[in-house]
Amino acid sequence: MSTRQLGVVPGAVSDEQIAEARVLTRVQVGITEQLSLRAETRVRVEDRAWIEALVQEEVERYHARAPHNGSPVLDRDSYAILRRRVLFRVTPLGPLTELLADPLVEEVIVNGPHEVLVLRDGIQEAAGVEFASEEELLQTVRQMLGNGSSRLDRASPMVTATLEDGSRINAVLPPVAMPMAVTIRRHQLARFGQLADLAHANTLPWELVPLFQAAVLARLNFVVSGGTGSGKTTMLRLLIREVPSAERIITIEDQRELHIRSAAGGRANTISLEAREANTEGSGEITIQQLVRNALRQRPDRIFVGESRGPEALDVIDAMGTGHDGSGTTLHANSVRDALTRLAALVRRHPAQVRADPGAVAREIANKVDMVVHLVRFQGPDGRDRRVVGALGLVTGQVEGEIPVVEELCRYERARGEWRWSIGRLDDLPPKIADKFEGAGIDLNLVVAALGSASVRGR
């Protein structure tokens, strides 16, 4: 922990600076005493709670004693500022401490030490905090990375890592980025624990909740598509949570974000595999493709890949057709149809498929993929960011030219001057999907009835 004292200029010391220096000294002594009781003497992110309590105690002590010992007496607002400034100085997260403790903060964007923005409750705004210097910002990021394999220095000026709470941090050092850039995307596991939570947040129409639940039970293979920050990982995680507990699940990611075992009490019989970049000597790399192949040897019932962005897409498609029905992945795309086109392009990146007939690849995808959930992110009339299910497509199994045929069952569109979901009928499902529902013993009439009751509740 840094013991750097407040830098002051003789003759220009304010009452606030004097108070901060005195409280900071006592807090640092208290932290040092507490850390001496354990083997690791470095302040960790999880120490924030007791450090906050210590700072509050010392600020209150200063407030009570200042009138009697000649120390500057501050007004109530200044004491609140004093608490924040001292807390920023002694916690690993520095000025980000309160931002990352706010459940409404979805994203933190740092453009150099003096410009910090947040996406709070769908609105991007200035955070009202800053770092003293780029060095302080760098040290804060390194504290967040901890002692894991991720590093950030001149030799490795870019880093992407998953934090302990499931959030993802990306940082880039100068001169690659000018100024130093940091983005922290929160994954609020507690906020969305089940599909109904998405319906409450108007991300998903209530009518689709029973359909999605039935689709998972019927072991439909699915793709979740959308743009950056549209909610693909959250949707995938909630669909996985509908898998019966008796089934063995393996998740594969380049950065661990699904947290199936830890979210909402966790899930047994789940293995999480994470890719690894090569070390500084160029060895030790473990790719998504290698992990998918290895997962097949671990007796999974279903395999879920956090994001397909390369030749591993072929292995994912193969898994869907080799006894692992009900598997899924996410990928970046602009629509339901674009998702299937992009998936085909990724499959053809595989060395074994470079010269493959595009029509044959399209037929393979049409046979294996059953459902595409497409998410969109946009700014609503109130200026807030919104994430919604933009479309739900059912893959018929047919191909037109080199593109799998997909029927949209649901679409988010503008009608009569307002945006709303239009939802089709379930009485004419593609045969391959109807067969899966029947094979799982799911009565579509009951699903339709559930859709009706959900529609009434959604209004």
DSSP per residue, 15-60: HHHHHHHHHHHHHHHHHHHHHTTSS--S--GGGHHHHHHHHHHHHH
Q: For residue range 104-116, list pLDDT tens digits in order.
A: 898 999 999 999 9
Cβ-contact 218, 197 below 8 angstroms: no
Q: Could you tell me the two tokens for 127?
A: 């955070």
Indicate whether 5 pLDDT > 50: no
Q: For residue range 42-56, list pLDDT tens digits in order.
A: 777 677 788 889 999
For residue 39, the model assigns a pLDDT of 80
The CATH number given to whatever domain includes residue 122 is 3.30.450.370
* Helices 15-35 + 76-90 axis angle, to 10: 40
Cβ-contact 326, 220 below 8 angstroms: yes
Cβ-contact 267, 245 below 8 angstroms: yes
User: Interior CA angle at 56 toward 54 and 62, to 5°?
Assistant: 100
Indicate whether 422 pLDDT > 90: no
Cβ-contact 108, 99 below 8 angstroms: yes
Q: Domain check: are 248 and 325 in the same one? A: yes
Q: Domain check: are 277 and 377 in the same one? A: yes
Q: Domain check: are 30 and 47 in the same one? A: yes
Q: Could you tell me the two tokens for 59?
A: 């600020």
Between 445 and 315, name the one with better pLDDT: 315
pLDDT-based confidence at 308, cuts 50/70/90? very high
Indicate whether 449 pLDDT > 60: yes
For the chain, how many structural domains are there in total? 3
Q: For residue range 241-253, list pLDDT tens digits in order.
A: 999 999 999 999 9
For residue 450, the model assigns a pLDDT of 66
User: What number of residues does the chain have?
Assistant: 459
The CATH number given to whatever domain includes residue 276 is 3.40.50.300
Q: Domain check: are 403 and 413 in the same one? A: yes
Q: For residue range 265-283, list pLDDT tens digits in order.
A: 567 889 999 998 877 777 8
Q: Domain check: are 75 and 199 in the same one? A: no
Indicate whether 28 pLDDT > 80: yes
Indicate whether 148 pLDDT > 70: no
Q: In angstroms, what CA-CA distances link 283 with 54, 162, 273, 305?
A: 45, 22, 19, 23
Residues 309-316, mean pLDDT to the nearest whole number: 90
Q: Domain check: are 24 and 171 in the same one? A: no
Q: Domain check: are 431 and 305 in the same one? A: yes
Helix (H) or strand (E) holding 252: strand 249-253
Cβ-contact 150, 162 below 8 angstroms: no
Domain span including residue 80: 1-91
Name the domain boundary from 71, 91, 111: 91
pTM of the predicted protein model: 0.78
Indicate whether 16 pLDDT > 60: yes
For residue 1, the model assigns a pLDDT of 42
Q: Could you tell me the two tokens for 89?
A: 């100085």
Indicate whether 264 pLDDT > 50: no
Q: Domain check: are 436 and 377 in the same one? A: yes
The rounded distance, in Å, linking the Cα atoms of 433 and 195 is: 21
For residue 281, the model assigns a pLDDT of 76
Cβ-count burial 402-422 (b if 16+ within 10 Å, e if not): ebbbbbbbbbbeeeeeeeebe
Q: Domain check: are 164 and 87 in the same one? A: no
Indicate whether 185 pLDDT > 60: yes
Q: In angstroms, what CA-CA distances link 438 with 215, 326, 433?
A: 11, 15, 9
For residue 410, the model assigns a pLDDT of 92
Indicate whether 4 pLDDT > 70: no
Cβ-contact 118, 107 below 8 angstroms: yes
DSSP per residue, 217-250: HTT--EEEEESTTSSHHHHHHHHHTTS-TTS-EE
Q: For residue range 343-364, list pLDDT tens digits in order.
A: 999 998 888 887 888 899 999 9
Those residues with Cβ within 8 angstroms of residue 249's Cβ, 6 or more apart along the chain or in another chain: 240, 243, 260, 267, 269, 270, 271, 300, 301, 302, 303, 304
Indicate whether 12 pLDDT > 60: no
For residue 317, the model assigns a pLDDT of 92
The rounded distance, in Å, linking the Cα atoms of 217 and 209 is: 13
The rounded distance, in Å, linking the Cα atoms of 39 and 27 is: 20
Q: Domain check: are 97 and 108 in the same one? A: yes
* Mean pLDDT estimate for the chain: 86
For residue 263, the model assigns a pLDDT of 54
For residue 31, the model assigns a pLDDT of 87
Find the largest Cα–Cα distance for the chain. 86
pLDDT-based confidence at 137, cuts 50/70/90? very high
Name the domain boundary from 59, 91, 123: 91
Residues 331, 332, 338, 344, CA torsion sign:
negative
pLDDT > 70: what percent of the chain? 92
Q: Domain check: are 157 and 8 in the same one? A: no
φ/ψ region of 53 (left if φ > 0, alpha if ψ in -120 to 50, else beta) reads alpha
**Percent of the chain as helix, strand, coil, to the nearest 5:** 40, 20, 40
* Single-letter residue type at 322: T
Indicate whether 9 pLDDT > 80: no
For residue 262, the model assigns a pLDDT of 64
Name the domain boundary from 186, 221, 247: 186
Q: For residue range 60-94, list pLDDT tens digits in order.
A: 999 999 889 888 888 888 888 888 888 877 876 77
For residue 286, the model assigns a pLDDT of 92
Indicate whether 437 pLDDT > 80: yes
pLDDT-based confidence at 169, cuts 50/70/90? very high
The rounded distance, in Å, linking the Cα atoms of 297 and 234 is: 27
Q: Domain check: are 103 and 219 in the same one? A: no
Cβ-contact 397, 375 below 8 angstroms: no
Residues 126-154, mean pLDDT to the nearest whole number: 85
* Single-letter residue type at 59: V
